[in-house]
Amino acid sequence: MIVVVSMATLEGYEGSNGAAGHKRRFEKLTGWPVAACHHTEASPEYLERFHPRAIFITGFGQAWETFHVPDLYAVNDLLHTTEVPVYGACGGHQLIGYCFNKNLRRTKRLRNEPMRKLRPGEPDFGPVSGEWGYYVARGVQQVEIVQRDPIFKGLRGRTIRVPESHYCEVKTLPPEFELLATSPECRIEMMKHSARPIYGAQFHAEIWQEPYTHGETIMRNFFRIAGLMS
């Protein structure tokens, strides 16, 4: 069983039928069933009923300031205790950064951490989460692998091309995490916990399309690490 933890608002989660796009794509890729849950219920005790072999945490479109921090306690506890392989994408990657860089139970409010302000002459694609004037990484971008890992098996060379859609980033590599990939505008493009199979990626490996299929290879490798594919 694969469990997709949705970081959408509760209204968006219920309206989209529970991360249906991820469910279809992962079931087609792996042949394994996929269940979805909202992040407010993704506690270790709740997920135990699924006996998951892999956990995927989605991205989202709202600002971090809109989150009620206690609503993140469940997934925070999951991240700090699970031995099941976890992959967080985009906002899910940033969530992993917050959970391991901060004590959420002593944090009243989370704030957006934009990459940078726009330079003179650069186009403004905002507002993103209500904010103008920030650099936005959009479209297929080039990312550099800085440390080899089984997640990159089958990818030749040091660069990959993957979709991006974000203006925030993880500013500080959390303790016990290793930097796996970087780019000129976003230093922490991908990271991994040094002792447990927890991966975070700022890019969207879970969205691939010819001719840009490096993301598919990364997701296949993640599910191989989880023992779901040969």
Catalytic residue numbers, as ranges: 90, 204, 206
Nearest-5° Cα angle at 76, 203 to 40: 90
Question: What is the sign of the dihedral through the CA atoms of 71, 172, 152 and 202?
Answer: positive
- Is the peptide bond preceding residue 174 cis, with omega within 30 degrees of 0? no
Q: Counting Cβ atoms within 10 Å, is residue 211 exposed (0-12), middle (13-18) or buried (19+)?
A: exposed
Percent helix, strand and coil across the chain, each to the nearest 5: 30, 25, 45
- All residues at 6 or more sequence positions from 209 whose CB lies less than 8 Å from its CB, including other chains: none
What whole-number distance in Å separates Cα of residue 57 and Cα of residue 47? 13
